[in-house]
Amino acid sequence: MHRSGATMAWNVFKFCTALRALGSIMILLVLGVVGVTYYSVVFTNYGPALYDGGFNSLTAAVILFFFHCFLIMLLWSYFSVVLTDPGSVPPNWRPAMDEERGEADPLNGSEFNGSQPDPLNQRIRYCRKCNQLKPPRCHHCSVCGRCVLKMDHHCVWVVNCVGAQNYKYFLLFLFYTFLETSLVTMALLPHFIAFFSDGEIPGTPGTLATTFLAFVLNLAFALSVLGFLIMHISLVSANTTTIEAYEKKSTPKWRYDLGRKKNFEQVFGTDKLYWFIPGYSDEDLRRMPALQGLEYPSKPDFDSQDF
């Protein structure tokens, strides 16, 4: 039995190492899809159409305008997820105690809605892998090899964990990816249909193949990203993460649910001007440590919600 456990641990380690190596390849894959799409839309189809004159030129100009706007926001959001630390536990972190009341002051839903803290849900957890206390909503990522604040999941597409500090950027990446791929799919649909028509199709075999590939790739991404986007919107509306969604099913009242508006503001901030860009206002940045939930109660709990 002991030998079997050791073998399983070794296999998990190898799997995590493989995921780290896969991450860099996934970034190149994303950039490759962007490159193929850009070549097909701009250089092969709608760039030359700008010189046709009349309605064709107007249509091409509109498509290229929105194509570049969505692409800029997509790449901005994507690299914000890749390069932003998802949230690490501060060194020697300890829960803050309220000396007057003789109790901990948890940073969870009870602080925002004015209700009394629920002592059954207030427990200090300890990560045996990092040898440190874990704040609420914090989980250990076996791929990154550390605890991540408000961890949602580890995403190989962005070579990073999605957590407290970059979850908004991840959602914007999904949002702009859906808009971009949907636009490209609709823009290339007439050219895709032309493949199966009896008429003569302009272009070289290489450009036709690129157009065909770009259409199929963008259609596939649009459909798959739509599913993830709907799922994460529902998670944000309930103020939960992908990991916590399983825990929530067994909880009568989810303690972090503050109502849809406040749940949304916890992720996207309170300043509406920053909702659709991968960034926060100065005021929201000052509130960020509180939203990460770096304080909470007393009894150490050696539970192993590690991933």
On the question of pLDDT at 193 being above 80, the answer is yes
Reply yes or no on whether 127 is catalytic. no
Indicate whether 135 pLDDT > 50. Answer: yes
Residue 291 has what pLDDT? 60
Does residue 306 lie within any of the structural domains? no
SS (H, E, C) the chain: CHHHHHHHHHHHHHHHHHHHHHHHHHHHHHHHHHHHHHHHHHHHHHHHHCCCCHHHHHHHHHHHHHHHHHHHHHHHHHHHHHHCCCCECCCCCCCCEECCCCEECCCCHHHHHCCCCCCCCCCEEEECCCCEEECCCCEEECCCCEEECCCCEEECCCCEEECCCCHHHHHHHHHHHHHHHHHHHHHHHHHHHHCCCCCCCCCCHHHHHHHHHHHHHHHHHHHHHHHHHHHHHHHHHCCCCCCHHHHHCCCCCCCCCCCHHHHHHHHHCCCHHHCCCCCCCHHHHHHHHHHHCCCCCCCEECCCCEC
Question: Is 11 within a domain?
Answer: yes
Looking at the domain assignment, is residue 280 inside a domain?
Answer: yes
- The whole-chain average pLDDT of the chain stands at 80
Inside any domain, residue 25: yes
**116, part of any domain:** yes
pLDDT (tens digit per residue) in 73-120: 999 999 999 999 999 888 878 876 543 344 444 333 333 333 333 433
pLDDT at 250: 64
Domain assignment of residue 210, yes or no: yes
140 part of a folded domain: yes
Catalytic residue among 141, 144, 155, 161: 155
Full domain range(s) for residue 222? 2-301
**What's the total number of domains in the chain?**
1
Whether 246 has a pLDDT exceeding 90, the answer reads no
Q: What pLDDT is attached to residue 241?
A: 93
Residue 185 forms part of a structural domain: yes
